[in-house]
Amino acid sequence: MDTKESQRDTEKFAAFGARSKLHKIVDELQNLIQHGRLHLLAWQQILEAIKKWPGLPDLATGFFMVTAKAHREATILCAAKLIEGQGDSVTFNYFFNVLLESKSYFPTNWDEVKRSAQADKKRLPDIRQAFERAKVERDTVVAHLDKDIINSDSEAQIYVSFTELGELFDTFEHLLYPYYAYCDFLAPIDLRNADDMFSMRLDDLFYLVGRALDSETFDDASDNIKRAQSWRKAWLEVARMEEELRTTGTYSYKCDDEI
């Protein structure tokens, strides 16, 4: 990190410390949404890479399994925090309670802000209910190992989909954003910028590794890399045969030294 970056980060944290309780709540809720999105994105990209680059998981099977699981669980934890209803947590309910006690921040449009906050606060129980499965998964799989997950009939009802989690983060982001318009200085300070964290996307990294698997220039490649390369070649040959069969009605087979 260079001097300018260090100074910029110091200024950011100093500004954060000087902000009011209401500002800090907005910052933390926005960062929670952002973190949830980042973990969701990483989880999706790992699964997509495994599908796109056969042989890639064989290079480090444990890493891919553990990392994908960790990102999923982190996504679930962020989602569950957003719909948590406990009174001692920083939640959207807490945000609206503090907001409704902050009339001095809105000298020209308090009546409008108050009506909006009261209406949005009433929506929270319905929103929490709509995304209850995120909390259920957190409680039964991530934070605890519930006996109910042994029941195969209920297992499918526990796990939350990519789509549901994406919709959850969208919903809470849309709930928060109108209040930036009511008060410009409520816009959050981004202490953990997504571009900094993902300056090189995971799919780009996997692309480079995948292309390396296709290379024949690694004279000193380990047996593990050679096995992964062999597996990938076999998969690509099967894909070629399937495409040939689909387009011509027949296919040709290449022996190992021709692949």
Would residue 255 count as lying in a domain? yes
What the block records as the tokens of 185 is 């200085």
What is d(CA 157, CA 180) in angstroms, rounded to the nearest whole number?
Answer: 36
Q: Does a structural domain hold residue 129?
A: yes
188 and 253 both lie in a single domain: no
Is 206 within a domain?
no
DSSP state of 152: H
- Report the pLDDT averaged over residues 93-117: 91
Q: How many domains, in total, are found in the chain?
A: 2
Q: What is the mean pLDDT of the chain?
A: 76
Across the range 145-172, mean pLDDT stands at 75
Please tell me the predicted confidence (pLDDT) of residue 100: 94
The per-type count for the chain, helices as H runs and strands as E runs, is 13, 0
Q: Which residue has the higher pLDDT, 199 or 3?
A: 3
Q: 237 or 74: whose pLDDT is higher?
A: 74
Q: Do 220 and 131 share a domain, yes or no?
A: no
| Tokens matching residue 19 | 């902000």
CA–CA separation, 38 and 25 (whole Å): 20
Do 106 and 219 reside in the same domain of the chain? no
Residue 208 lies in a domain: no
Q: Are residues 195 and 138 in the same domain?
A: yes
**Of 117-131, 144-158, 201-215, 223-237, the least confident:** 144-158
Co-location of 224 and 192 in the same domain: no
pTM for this entry? 0.69
* 174 lies in the same domain as 136: yes
Are 237 and 245 contacting, i.e. CB atoms less than 8 angstroms apart?
Answer: no
121 located within any domain: yes
| 144 and 110 assigned to the same domain | yes
What is the pLDDT, as a whole number, of residue 62? Answer: 78
Provide the residue range defining the domain that includes 230.
214-259
pLDDT tops 50 at residue 136: yes
**Shared-domain flag, residues 142 and 238:** no
pLDDT of 95 reads 92
How far is it, in rounded angstroms, from Cα 55 to Cα 9?
40
pLDDT tier at 26, thresholds 50, 70, 90: confident
Query: Do 196 and 233 fall within a single domain?
Result: no
User: What is the per-residue pLDDT for 195?
Assistant: 47
Do 188 and 146 belong together in one domain?
yes
Task: Report the distance separating Cα 227 and Cα 232, nearest Å.
Answer: 9
Q: Which range, of 110-114, 146-150, 180-184, averages the lowest pLDDT? A: 146-150
pLDDT at 116 over 90: yes
- Establish if 207 belongs to a structural domain: no
Question: 245 and 131, same structural domain?
Answer: no
Examine the domain organization and report whether 105 and 156 are in the same domain.
Answer: yes
